[in-house]
Structures are given as C-alpha cells and as structure tokens.
Amino acid sequence: MAKNLRQARQKSGLSQEELANASGVDRTYVSGIERGIRNPTISVLNRFAATLGVDAFALLTPDYFAE
C-alpha cells in the first residue's frame, strides 16, 4: 500500500503536503504511511483515493501503479 500511495501521488503531481491538505490529514502521517511506518484507516484510505482520483482497491493492489 505504501508503494502504491507514493506512486499514485507522484503520478498525480501532488506533494505529500498537498495530498495531506486535500485529504484532511497531517503531512507527517502521509510520510509515515509511504514509509510503511503507519497504517491508514479505511476512511483515510478512501479520502486518499478520492483525492488522487483512483479506486481505493487500486491503492491496495500490489504493483497496481507499476510502470
């Protein structure tokens, strides 16, 4: 999930801070998730997906955003 979130965020052209602000969470929380240190709740996962314009399933599918 961490890798997918990072790849989806980068493909959308958002910084961690922009994703955090748009999703209503702290930037350090996004950083922790992307580093695999923290785990998002389902509601936060859904907010990330909505902000990134992807299905939440995509964020949970291994290598979904691999090039």
Q: Splitting the chain (67 residues) into consecutive groups of 10 residues, what average pLDDT does each group show?
A: 95 97 97 96 97 95 83
**Where are the chain's structural domains?**
2-53
Looking at residue 67, what is its pLDDT?
63
Q: How far apart are CA 62 and CA 14, in angstroms?
A: 21
Looking at residue 11, what is its pLDDT?
94
Looking at residue 18, what is its pLDDT?
98
| Predicted TM-score (pTM) of this structure | 0.91
Other C-beta atoms closer than 10 Å to the C-beta of 3 total 15
Looking at residue 63, what is its pLDDT?
86
Query: Residues 33, 12, 6, CA angle at the centre, nearest 5°?
Result: 25
Its CATH architecture, for the domain 2-53, is Orthogonal Bundle (1.10)
